């Protein structure tokens, strides 16, 4: 077993630096920095090889948990695989990701979710939790076998037809009722399909001026309101994917105040980017739900700070060049997100003072782990806790280049941007998975 010592880190960016000793995947000591020579105390020097990370006062956070990522395997391995997506996740500071079900074949049965689970285990860089589809083939007509996916080795805890809305209210009601019995959560992609036929961009002044068919905010808000009421009556847990509008934040505030068991996520791109990007006509900016107005983005940042929106989720959506480098209407929606998430949260939330690092730990690790029911993620940085950790250099800036990211696809909307916040190391159960921008795969040495 390789032990790790992290010297001079500041948990949650608070207080004086400490040294952490990690053994057998667990934090075994936390001492004031420099007060001990901890590596000599980790056990038998003959059998234990200690890796020392000099943190130099950097911020130590619990490993990030992403409730919403598209890893594209099986089916579109030309754009991402579970191995390359896991690498992007580890480099982005994640220790657990949820792989959406809109693969080919769809993850709507135990065989596919087990396959995804095993590929994640084999890659070994991040815990890959398959999301199960709510309906067979994402078609919205018949419920998938939620129970067999939940009891499979993959232990599915999150179900979603993401990419599609579960639009039929009766199907959604039944899914919520089953989810309560199974103690799982249904994550809704809120988009009333009758209101988005042909839609290409946020319905408003900019889309109208530039000639894009509009995508109304009410397409999202009407489904969120409906589903909050369905969840309230079913006493079920509902999660809302990629909240994008002020009206949705209003509805969530109302529903939470009434005791609805609803949680919600916002993507980094909806926190930072707006429909001003439409003027580029560059489909790298096409995403579902669409980029909204500046005042929507401002409200989303405030709602995340207040807890009306619970967490950040990337909606990492790799696409092939031919599906993005084409005319807007033909392009697929979605953008890469795993390796830029921390930087966008630093830029939009930490720098303006909306969240401190403890707040970042809440929205990127603790709340998503709670929502998905992961017992060993999002835990406090404390002795006896599993060492799922992310070391962040908050001040250093870096320049994003899609071609240099670990994903196969390169569709980042942040190309050429300088962003603050660098992930300098990620540890999964005490094993270093990424360090200084490089993947460290030590599975062979420890298994
Ligand atoms: O932009 C998006 N891309 N939104 C979704 O809901 C699906 C995703 C994808 O699978 O590409
Ligand atoms: Zn979606």
Closest approach atom of ligand 1 to CA 102: 10
The protein residue whose alpha carbon is closest to atom 1 in ligand 1 is 334
Q: Check residue 258 and report its DSSP letter.
A: T
pLDDT of 445:
40
The protein residue whose alpha carbon is closest to atom 6 in ligand 1 is 163
289 within ligand 1 shell (Cβ under 6 A): no
Q: Across-strand partners of 65?
A: 96
Which two tokens mark 218? 């009410």
> On the CB side of 366, how many CA atoms lie within 13 Å of its CA?
13
The protein residue whose alpha carbon is closest to atom 5 in ligand 1 is 163
The rounded Å distance from CA 230 to ligand 1 centre is: 24
pLDDT of 231:
98
Cα R_g (the chain), whole angstroms:
21
Name residues with Cβ closer than 5 Å to ligand 2, which is an ion: 162, 189, 241
Q: Under 8 Å CB-to-CB from 173, ≥6 apart: which residues? A: 230, 234
Q: Choose among 256, 261, 251, 257: nearest CA to 221.
A: 251
Each residue's pLDDT tens digit, 276-300: 999 999 999 999 999 999 999 999 9
Phi-psi region of 155 (alpha: psi -120 to 50; beta: other; left: phi over 0): left
pLDDT of 151:
98
Give the number of other Cβ atoms within 10 Å of residue 447's Cβ: 7
How far from 288 is each of 189, 217, 230, 241, 329, CA to CA, in Å?
Answer: 9, 12, 24, 11, 13
Q: Which of 78, 162, 284 to mutate to test the pocket of ligand 1 (most atoms within 8 A of CB)?
A: 162
The rounded Å distance from CA 71 to ligand 2 centre is: 14
The rounded Å distance from CA 283 to ligand 1 centre is: 13
In a 10 Å sphere around its CB, with 0-12 CB exposed, 13-18 middle and 19+ buried, how is residue 257 labelled? exposed
Cα 340 to Cα 343: distance, rounded to the nearest angstrom: 5
Question: For the chain, which domains are there?
Answer: 63-372 (3.20.20.140)
Cα 93 to Cα 51: distance, rounded to the nearest angstrom: 19
Contact predicate 215/289, CB 8 Å: yes
Is the model's pLDDT at 60 over the cut of 60? yes
Contact predicate 157/150, CB 8 Å: yes
Stretch 56-74: mean pLDDT, rounded? Answer: 98
Q: Check residue 345 and report its DSSP letter.
A: H
pLDDT of 443:
55
The rounded Å distance from CA 111 to ligand 2 centre is: 23
333 within ligand 1 shell (Cβ under 6 A): yes
pLDDT of 36:
62
Closest approach atom of ligand 1 to CA 241: 6
Give this prediction's pTM: 0.97
The protein residue whose alpha carbon is closest to atom 3 in ligand 1 is 334
Closest approach atom of ligand 1 to CA 164: 6
163 within ligand 1 shell (Cβ under 6 A): yes
pLDDT of 35:
83
C-beta contacts of 72-77 below 8 A and 24+ residues apart: 72/103, 72/318, 73/103, 73/116, 73/119, 74/103, 74/104, 74/105, 74/112, 74/115, 74/116, 75/103, 75/104, 75/105, 76/103, 76/104, 76/318, 76/320, 77/408
C-beta contacts of 145-153 below 8 A and 24+ residues apart: 145/108, 145/109, 145/110, 146/175, 146/178, 146/179, 146/182, 146/184, 147/178, 147/182, 148/109, 148/110, 149/109, 149/110, 149/113, 150/182, 150/184, 152/110, 152/113, 152/114, 152/117, 153/114, 153/117
Phi-psi region of 247 (alpha: psi -120 to 50; beta: other; left: phi over 0): alpha
The ligand whose atoms approach the alpha carbon of 284 most closely is: 1
Q: Which residues are catalytic?
A: 315
Each residue's pLDDT tens digit, 255-276: 999 999 999 999 999 999 999 9
Each residue's pLDDT tens digit, 360-408: 999 999 999 999 999 999 999 999 999 999 999 999 999 999 999 999 9
Each residue's pLDDT tens digit, 309-359: 999 999 999 999 999 999 999 999 999 999 999 999 999 999 999 999 999
Is the model's pLDDT at 45 over the cut of 60? no
The rounded Å distance from CA 164 to ligand 2 centre is: 7
């Amino acid at each position: 077993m390789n032990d790790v010592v992290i010297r001079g880190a500041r948990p949650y960016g608070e207080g004086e630096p400490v040294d952490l000793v990690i053994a057998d995947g667990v934090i075994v000591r936390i001492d004031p920095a420099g007060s001990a020579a901890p590596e000599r105390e980790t056990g038998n020097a003959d059998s234990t090889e200690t890796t020392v990370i000099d943190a130099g006062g950097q911020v130590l956070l619990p490993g990030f948990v992403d409730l919403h990522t598209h890893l594209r395997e099986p089916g579109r391995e030309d754009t991402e695989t579970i191995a390359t997506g896991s690498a992007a996740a580890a480099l982005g500071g994640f220790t657990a990701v949820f792989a959406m079900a809109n693969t080919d074949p769809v993850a709507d049965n135990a065989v596919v979710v087990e396959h995804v689970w095993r590929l994640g285990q084999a890659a070994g860089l991040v815990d890959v939790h398959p999301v199960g589809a709510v309906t067979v083939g994402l078609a919205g007509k018949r419920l998938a076998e939620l129970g067999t996916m939940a009891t499979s080795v993959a232990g599915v805890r999150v179900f979603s037809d993401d990419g599609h809305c579960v639009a039929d209210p009766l199907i959604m009601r039944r899914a919520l009722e089953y989810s309560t019995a199974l103690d799982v959560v249904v994550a809704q992609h809120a988009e009333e399909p009758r209101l988005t036929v042909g839609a290409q961009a946020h319905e408003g002044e900019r889309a109208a001026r530039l000639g894009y068919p509009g995508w109304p905010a009410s397409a999202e808000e009407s489904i969120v309101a409906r589903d909050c009421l369905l969840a309230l009556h079913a006493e079920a847990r509902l999660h809302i994917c990629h909240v994008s509008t002020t009206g949705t934040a209003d509805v969530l505030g109302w529903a939470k105040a009434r005791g609805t068991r609803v949680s919600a996520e916002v993507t980094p791109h909806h926190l930072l980017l707006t429909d001003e990007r439409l003027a580029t006509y560059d489909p790298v900016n096409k995403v579902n739900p669409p980029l909204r107005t500046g005042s929507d983005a401002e409200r989303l940042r405030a709602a995340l700070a207040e807890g009306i929106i619970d967490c950040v989720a990337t909606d990492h959506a790799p696409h092939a060049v031919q599906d993005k480098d084409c005319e807007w209407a033909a392009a697929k929606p979605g953008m890469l997100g795993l390796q830029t998430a921390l930087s966008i949260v630093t830029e939009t939330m930490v720098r303006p003072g909306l969240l401190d690092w403890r707040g970042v730990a809440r929205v990127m690790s603790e709340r998503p782990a709670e929502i998905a029911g992961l017992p060993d993620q999002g835990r406090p940085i404390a002795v006896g806790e599993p060492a799922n950790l992310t070391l962040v250099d908050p001040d250093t800036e870096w320049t994003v280049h899609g071609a240099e990211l670990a994903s196969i696809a390169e569709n980042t909307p942040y190309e050429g941007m300088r962003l603050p916040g660098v992930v300098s190391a990620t540890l999964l159960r005490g094993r270093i998975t990424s360090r200084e921008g490089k993947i460290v795969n030590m599975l062979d040495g420890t298994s």
